[in-house]
Amino acid sequence: MTYRHPLILAGLALAFAAPLGAAEARPARELLQPPKQTITSPITDRFSLRGTYYQPAVEMPLRYDSSALLPGTPISGEDTLGFDSELNQGMVEMTFRLTDRQRIRTDFFQMNRSGDVMLDQVVRFGDDVYLVSDRVVSSMKLRILNLGYSYSLLKRETVEIGVGLAVHLLQAEGRAAVPARLLREDFDVAGPFASLGVDATWRFTPRFSANAWAQYLPGDVVGTDDVDGSFLRYHADVQFRWRPNLAFGLGYTQQSVRVDSLDADFSGRFVLKARGPEAFVRVSF
């Protein structure tokens, strides 16, 4: 069969060439590629709740001046008053990821201690003077609420580094009494202060991550001429992601608070140092 019209020949050529050209230009089928999987970690969590068992070693140097501004006797809560130097504590922490790079972390720390000792030295505590061989019954309660904000300067699939600010609310109540002589002295330290913070996370395997953060304030705890102090708190841990929403971890936390005050409500010096290992369970989504 012979085609005599050139337009018919051209039309047949284009009809066969178009499908071949489309097949060559068509990209590979996306359906053949596996879907991208997100590996859960502290970097991807939107919310987390962590329950922690904390076993810190504690030191509490203390001096409580009298209302007449007579210096009190520098004492140790552990050596002088018989407070336990090692504690078994529970802590709770929550973290909220507001945006992809912004987070808020809050936690609460409470410590209650008591002592019952016979003094082996003369102690001026507030307006009272406790004598050698006096039986002193004492107690101390400490509460710290921490609320921190962090912005991630670097955020990758396996690494996140942030900086931020934190606000801390501290209250410390103490009491020392000599029942035999009807002596009793109370003190109360309370106030807010702020600190600078830095944090980092490294997911070094699909299930393991290393995490650390630190908060620091060099002085001027509440920003007044009557009160000066410092604050340091840092933490490091390793987490194992057992399930997408459940992790277990081991860590270490140290915190140190110092308050030097000439305030009418509390004049003296209060120092607390607590450091030790911890184990925790972390639930997240």
**Beta strand segments in the chain, E:** 47-54, 57-59, 61-64, 75-76, 89-97, 102-118, 123-125, 128-130, 135-155, 159-178, 183-203, 208-217, 227-243, 246-262, 267-284
DSSP, res 156: -
DSSP state of 133: T
3-state secondary structure 89-111: EEEEEEEEECCCCEEEEEEEEEE
**pLDDT value for 68:** 77
Which of 163, 164, 165, 167 is CA-nearest to residue 144? 167
pLDDT tier at 35, thresholds 50, 70, 90 = low
Task: Please report the domains of the chain, with CATH numbers, ordered by start residue.
Answer: 47-284 (2.40.128.90)
**37 pLDDT exceeds 90?**
no
The model's pTM is 0.83
In three-state secondary structure terms, 38 is coil
Among 276, 279, 280, 281, residue whose Cα is nearest residue 55:
276
If pLDDT is split at 50, 70 and 90, which confidence band does 264 have? confident
d(CA 63, CA 265): 14
15 pLDDT more than 50: no
Residue pair 284/245 in contact by the 8 Å Cβ criterion: yes
Confidence band for 189, pLDDT divided at 50, 70 and 90: confident
What are the residues facing 122 on neighbouring strands?
none
**200 bridge partner residues:** 161, 212
* pLDDT tens digit sequence for 70-118: 899 999 999 999 999 999 999 999 999 999 999 999 999 899 999 999 9
Token pair recorded at residue 241: 């992601």
pLDDT at site 216: 95
pLDDT over threshold 50, residue 1: no
